[in-house]
Amino acid sequence: MGGYGDVQMIDEKGLRMDGRKPSECRPIEIETGVVPVADGSARVRWGLNDVIAAVYGPMEAHPRKIQRQDRAVLDVRYNMAPFSTTDRIRPGFNRRSREISKVTAEALESVVLLELYPRSKIRVEIEVLCAEAGTRCAGITAASAALAHAGIPMTDLVVSVASGKVNGVVVCDLNKEEDNYGEADLPMGILPNSGELVFLQMDGDLSQEDFKIAWDYNMEAASHIHEIMARALKGGDA
Amino acid sequence: MSIPLVPELLRKHLADLADSDMRIDGRGRFESRDISLEVGILPRAEGSARVQMGNTIVLAGVKFQLMTPYPDRPNQGGLMCSAEVRPVAGRSWEPGPPSPQSIELGRVVDRGIRESGCIDVDELCIIPGERAWQVILDVFAVSDDGNLFDAFALAGIAALRSAIVPAERFEIGEDYPLPVSKTPTMCSYHRVGGRYVLDASKKEELGGDERIHITLGDDGHVHSLQKGLKGIFTTAEFEEIMEHAIERCAELRDLVNNAIEK
Amino acid sequence: MRGRRVAGPIDMTRGRGAGGPHGSRESVLVAPGDDLGDSKELEPGHGVIVVDGRLKAVKQGRMMKDGKNVGIQPRRTAYVPRPSDLVIGFVEGMTNNIWFIDIGAPFNAILPLSLGPSKASFGGLRSVLDVGDAILCRIQEVEENHSSVATMKGMGLRKLKTGSVESVDPHLLGRVIGSKGANLSELKEKTDTRIIVADNARVWIDGDVAGIISARAELGAMMMKAKISEYGGDV
């Protein structure tokens, strides 16, 4: 969080630079079947974010040493394509991607019924094609839609969204500028049917009161995103 | 890349089909799958393209960086082409450092574009010996259902043709289209059931043998060739596919021109 | 990237809710986490679990009610072997006395020498069944951790030496076969081919090249039609 106090990101009407109200999300579209050769796939377009997730498996886990006798291994990779940001990203090892892959795997492991497929592996590949703040949230959301699309049994979907604070105002779903110059960022992974959490991070500076507001914004946004995801999965008219 | 199991029945079936001059998906020997090509689809890239051929889908993005020219070539910028097939694209593409298969893909595409001279590296120089543009083309596979080579080459040249040099962002003048003087295109032929076919699908690649990639420039000049995988071919066989490639590469060039004009 | 199912952004001020399986036409299609009713009145079937006295969907698909039983016909599913299943497998490897068989399940099966073709002998497995060969076999047993044992002892179980093997969606096998095998007989007759539909969603088609081609095309069309009829033009 940069904390540049001189960057004005909330106008006198209380609206944000892109015209949103503090509690409002950027437009979201979810689409499934975008990687035809995968067992399941989804694409989430969220503001300028464009994230795809593909699922392969359950299949035999190789090498043998990674096999678990009692459950499947969930192998999650989050990656940003070289052309997904303003400055090109060099392909290869990256500490940020590793951490996001790990927390994403742990969030999804909380809902996938892994015990049904002992000794096998389920691969989840998240690729950010275009990034505009909140790619980890878009990634988790896309991955859970792709898992459902692949017919992998799971107790609930996972939707993820971040709220934060800019110019002293708590706002939902930070865009790029707000993320760069804001004071705080609180991404959460929420089970929409139960309101429980499987993913939580935060950095920045939030008062207890602001923290509560950000939390509630995320919960509200989650049910909105869930509605869009459920429609994509059920093939209802868009 | 893990080596998938090659079912004997598939090889045999492909050979039977070849005997009757047929292909597994009903196409003719030198018939390609329908190709859709779009440019300008990645908002963060200075040039971009998406190619879909059947269930094969690839993206290409062009980025620019400032570089210091190499001391032995003070008047030249740089062109870099990199292909990475990430495990998202298919079951057999595994995580880890780039596989030899994925490196071969990148290098063959790179040679076709570089050797055609379509980008004049002298024009990329801003201040001799001090500053020059480095053009970086990244091709990315979304879904691999065979023939990534042609898809990458097509997306790559289309992305370059659509690229805008971001001079304003680097505070060195106004944005301008990247000068691309030629449109090299690639055609790949796979030996399936004993004879060469154009644009092999994944199943044909799995049950097939060696492959030959031909990149031709605007005037039909040959810019890159690559024979891949185990196999033996004759001069007569090569002449046949080269003759076809001359025609096909020109068609692909028209496809790129049309997409850019739109 | 160009999938067909696009859900657009909606007005956030409108009524929320998971769009659970109650009421409208859309209601029969469910997604993981959807509440499907009270466990005192209903029994969980395929793709349904009970959590705190409520039935809950764990798969995406169509909800099917049969009396008190509530199950989900999934849109996609992985093949999980059960004893006595007839399956088409590919030989992946072998030791002196065991073949490893890919049966299209999350874990491959073993075929011990004693259950393989009788002419095979210890240390000479490759001469009978080599890597890449296709076999028609049955699942003998499935262990608790899902490893399974295949057998080739039984009527008609053999190496498949000709023809072609196609894959279909496991949950659409019923459509291929049809009521009392009607669809399958029609397909065989129409294309003059021999067809075996295995439980692991692999279909063996044998005949002359033209017959195989048309049977494969028919099969593809049947799959497409089945999906469209279930999900309204969306595959």
By the CB < 8 Å criterion, does A119 face chain C? yes
pLDDT, mean of residues C104-124: 92
Provide the residue count of chain B: 262
Q: What is the pLDDT of residue A92?
A: 82
pLDDT over 90, % of chain A: 83
Given a cut of 50, whether residue C212 has pLDDT beyond it is yes
- What residue spans of B70-147 are helical by DSSP H? 100-115
**Which residue of C34, C55, C60, C75 is the best one to mutate when testing the A interface, meaning the one whose CB has the most A CBs within 10 A?**
C60
Q: What is the pLDDT of residue C21?
A: 39
**Residue spans of chain B under pLDDT 70:** 1
Residue A172 lies in a domain: yes
Given a cut of 50, whether residue C27 has pLDDT beyond it is no
As for how many domains chain A has, the answer is 1
Given a cut of 60, whether residue C4 has pLDDT beyond it is no
Report, in this order, helix, strand and coil percent for chain A, each rounded to 5. 30, 30, 40
pLDDT, mean of residues A179-202: 95
CB A33 within 8 A of CB C233: no
Which domain covers residue A98, as residue numbers? 28-233
Q: Which chain C residues touch A150 with a CB distance below 8 Å?
A: 76
Q: What is the pLDDT of residue C14?
A: 33
Q: What is the pLDDT of residue C3?
A: 39
Q: What is the CATH number of domain C164-231?
A: 3.30.1370.10
Given a cut of 80, whether residue C34 has pLDDT beyond it is yes
pTM for the whole structure: 0.92
Q: Which chain B residues touch C131 with a CB distance below 8 Å?
A: 5
Q: How far apart are CA C161 and CA C14, in angstroms?
A: 61
**Which residue of C1, C4, C5, C26 is the best one to mutate when testing the A interface, meaning the one whose CB has the most A CBs within 10 A?**
C5
Residue A20 lies in a domain: no
pLDDT over 70, % of chain B: 99
Q: What is the pLDDT of residue C66?
A: 86
- The domain spanning residue A192 has which CATH number? 3.30.230.70
Q: What is the pLDDT of residue B1?
A: 60
Residue A2 lies in a domain: no
Q: How far apart are CA C106 and CA C90, in angstroms?
A: 14
| Complex confidence, ipTM | 0.94
CB B102 within 8 A of CB B83: yes
Given a cut of 50, whether residue A2 has pLDDT beyond it is no
Domain C86-160, CATH homologous superfamily name and number: Nucleic acid-binding proteins (2.40.50.140)
What confidence tens digit (pLDDT) does each residue in A209-231 have?
Answer: 999 999 999 999 999 999 999 99
Taking the domains of chain C in order of start, what are their residue ranges? 25-73, 86-160, 164-231
**All partners of chain A with 3 or more CB pairs under 8 angstroms:** B, C
Note the CATH architecture for domain C25-73: Beta Barrel (2.40)
- What residue spans of A53-190 are helical by DSSP H? 95-109, 135-149, 176-181
Residue A5 lies in a domain: no
| CA-to-CA separations, C114 to C111, C117, C135, C138, C155, in angstroms, rounded | 8, 8, 16, 14, 16
Residue A22 lies in a domain: no
Look at the block and give the residue holding tokens 């793709």: C47
3-state SS, residue C167: strand
CB A132 within 8 A of CB A47: yes
What confidence tens digit (pLDDT) does each residue in B63-89 have?
Answer: 999 999 999 999 999 999 999 899 999
Q: What is the pLDDT of residue C223?
A: 85
By the CB < 8 Å criterion, does B145 face chain A? yes
Residue A21 lies in a domain: no
Q: Which domains does chain B have, with CATH numbers?
A: 8-261 (3.30.230.70)
Helix (H) or strand (E) holding A50: strand A49-60
Say if C25-73 and C164-231 have the same CATH topology: no
Comparing A9-18, A181-190, C7-16, the range with the smallest average pLDDT is C7-16
